[in-house]
Amino acid sequence: MHVTKPKIRLFVNEPFRAGALLALGSGQSHYLSHVMRCRAGDAVAVFNGSDGQWRAEVQDMGKKSVTLLLRDQMEKQKSSPDIWLAFAPIKNKTELVVEKATELGASALLTVFTRHAVVRSVNMDKLQAHAIEAAEQCERHDVPRIEQYKDLGALLSAWPQGRILLYADESGAGEDLKTMLPQLPKSSYAILIGPEGGFAAEEQHILRQAAFVRPFCMGPRILRADTAAVAALACVQAWLGDWQEKPHFEAAG
């Protein structure tokens, strides 16, 4: 018998086992009770980033809290590709980049405060909330890790061995992605996008000196930083084969 998937998905950061009760926080409880108008017995899909997707049932609808009963696993865990996005926070656009990068399957999002960045601080809790909401909407089974670095030097000093950093070089000195990507060794990858004002000269220098950095060019037009982040991530994901995967959600019809 075909069982329709629940239309509501929630990320719940708790271990899953059949029969367990999940007490939701105030935000998710309000969403289920007041926005979605759920009632006891309604089905909800839940995921926690490690145990796949499960079917849960609304067990108790309190005035300020909702409890879910875990029924069974609907899908085994499917992790996103191991591709990172590092970027300078963008005025009024940082949350958008987090949302779109999550939809495109980035496994980690690294914010770095560069010399010419307009934004000098970010609300990490708010960014995490945007990533969770995007993961819930796009059927991911995980939520990207989000980290913050005080400057480019701190990011490069902490860079893990064996991961290639693809650097969007606005000077045009890098290769085009179509030529460069097939020549790269098998590795883990990350993409670095600079701020609205571009990288400072000293930042460009240290990037070009790092052995793990590969500069690339993004074509003849000047792209906004948020556009560049989404475009570069989409190109690399397509090359890595992520776009060959078939969707695992049920199409409407």
Q: Write down the pLDDT at residue 244.
A: 83
Q: Write down the pLDDT at residue 229.
A: 97
* Rounded Cα gap, residues 250 and 165, in angstroms: 35
* Cβ proximity of 18 and 72 under 8 Å: yes
Q: Write down the pLDDT at residue 250.
A: 59
- Among 98, 96, 104, residue whose Cα is nearest residue 131: 98
State residue 72 phi and psi, 5-degree precision: -155, 165
Domains of the chain by start residue, with CATH: 9-75 (2.40.240.20), 83-244 (3.40.1280.10)
Q: Give the end-to-end CA distance of the chain in Å, rounded to a whole number.
A: 18
From the first residue on, what is the mean pLDDT of each consecutive set of 10 residues in the chain (253 residues)? 77 96 93 91 96 95 88 93 96 96 97 93 96 96 97 96 94 88 91 93 94 93 94 94 76 49
